[in-house]
Structure 1
Amino acid sequence: MSTLKLGIADDHELFRKGFISMLSGIPDFEFILEAGNGQELLDRLPANTPDIVFMDLQMPVMDGIQATEAAFERFPNIKIIVVSMYNEDRFVIHMLEKGVQGYLLKDTSPDEVEKAIRRVHEEGFYYNDFVSKAMHRKMVNRQVNKHPFFPNACNVALSSREKEVLQLICDGLSTTEIGDKLFISVRTVEGHRLRVLEKTGTKSTAAAVAFAYKNQLLN
């Protein structure tokens, strides 16, 4: 059994220690890094680079948004799950656009945190019902914008199957579950996902989903 290396950046030591303790009993989870702010995280990443980092948003010295941008730039393979008390849609959408692989609230259950870790490790993303609803509300409430966030949005044409796969990703289904639902192979699902990334010019599934909702490519 391979070990998943984890890290956490949060300025509240009590939460940080409790979070680590909560997951320490899972045999294949190992916390190799903890930091009290974004700058401390970046300083420690070169020596100890986790597979997945849990990132708080509001921290002194350097906040989670800045730290996320810098971490992705310096360590392209790292995966980040936001763990925050902020439940406003604007924070969720903004961080998805930054490329984070998941967004959890601080009252999330231990079982869901474990599920998020495994899904991010295996699939590259985790969207729970809270995130999916935030993205849907963003789409519904979005006013027509003559200058979309992505300049080439008007040139993006997803096939009906690509939209279907992307919608099921938004609904929280795994690659295997999508394949079963659509009666196609896992390899075919992955092929559709990669073509969506290529067409949207995004680097992660999270960013592709944010793109699709922002530009009303999904129903």
Structure 2
Amino acid sequence: MSKLTKIRIAVTDDHALFRRGLVSLLSHNDDFEVVLEASNGQELIDNIPQLLPNIVLMDLNMPVVDGIRATERIKKDFPKVKIIVISMHDEDKFVSHLMSLGANGYLLKDAHPDEVENAIYTVFNEDYYYGPFLVKVMHNRMINKPEKKAENLLSLQVGISDRELEVLEHICQGTTTQQIAEMLCLSARTVEGHRNRIMEKTGTKNVAGLVAWAVRNGVC
């Protein structure tokens, strides 16, 4: 990746030791440029217009403005900025709520450094990242709400086609656009078209929100 296409990153965490450790880790990758360190959500929001990060790595428990409220405001005011939450919280409902707000990825603070880098690349290129932890969350939601799936499929027949549903199920599994295209013998552009129409029908703003909607409603 050339200097012209470096991924601009903001790191937001009120614990200076963790924040600076993460910045140090990222600084060893020539593809990354850390343009902002913030200790709370308000500091992050105030500096986004000037520093224009592509991706925010953000904690949730912070003073002044926490990660939840910061996610809501960023997705409203700066929709092109992508957010990867890095948190200690691992409750299924909590994680699903963050994804429904538009977070593009969710990592636990004990994630391996390689996974953090992989998540950044994936979110930058594909818009969303669903690693082993999020796959487990979605699996748990499926098991705990099996009765909703049949009910929801009936409602989907009104607005979402069988092909769109098939694409949605692959998206929920973390499959990339190109991989879906190859599996379904479609072009990548056709898959993107299906994905965009599903988002329109479900009222979601990005793929992360779409998957959160699917999990919440028992579709995936």
Alignment CA distance shift 1:189-1:195 (3 Å):
same
Aligned to 2:181: 179
TM-score by length of 2: 0.89
Q: Which residue of 1 aligns with 2:152?
A: none
Aligned pairs (5 A) from 1:41-190: 41-142=44-145, 157-190=159-192
Instruction: Give the superposition deviation at 1:36.
Output: 0.5
CA contact (8 A) 1:156 1:199 kept: no
Q: Residues 156, 200 of structure 1: CA spacing in aligned structure 2 closer, same or farther, 3 A cutoff?
A: farther
RMSD of Structure 2 on Structure 1 (CA): 1.8
CA shift for structure 1 position 126: 0.7
Whichever residue aligns with residue 94 of structure 1, its letter is H
Answer whether contact 1:3 1:29 (CA < 8 A) is retained: yes
Percent of pairs with identical residues: 51
> Matched residues in 1 for 2:185 and 2:56: separation?
34
CA gap 1:41/1:155 in 2 versus in 1, 3 angstroms = farther
Note the C-alpha offset of 1:186: 1.0
Letter in 1 for 2:63: P
Find out whether 1:19 has 2:22 as its counterpart: yes
- The superposition leaves residues 2-29 of structure 1 with CA deviations (integer Å, 9 ceiling, x where unpaired) of 1110001101111111111111111121
TM-score (norm 1): 0.90
Q: Helix, strand or coil: the match of 2:51? A: coil
Count of residues paired in the alignment: 211
Map of 1:150 onto structure 2: none
Instruction: Flag the 1:156–1:9 CA change in 2: closer, same or farther, 3 A.
Output: farther
- 1:9 paired with 2:12, answer yes
Choose which of 193, 197, 209 in structure 1 pairs with 2:199.
Answer: 197
Q: 1:207 aligns with which of 206, 209, 219?
A: 209
1:26 counterpart SS class: coil
Unaligned runs of 5+ in 2: 149-154
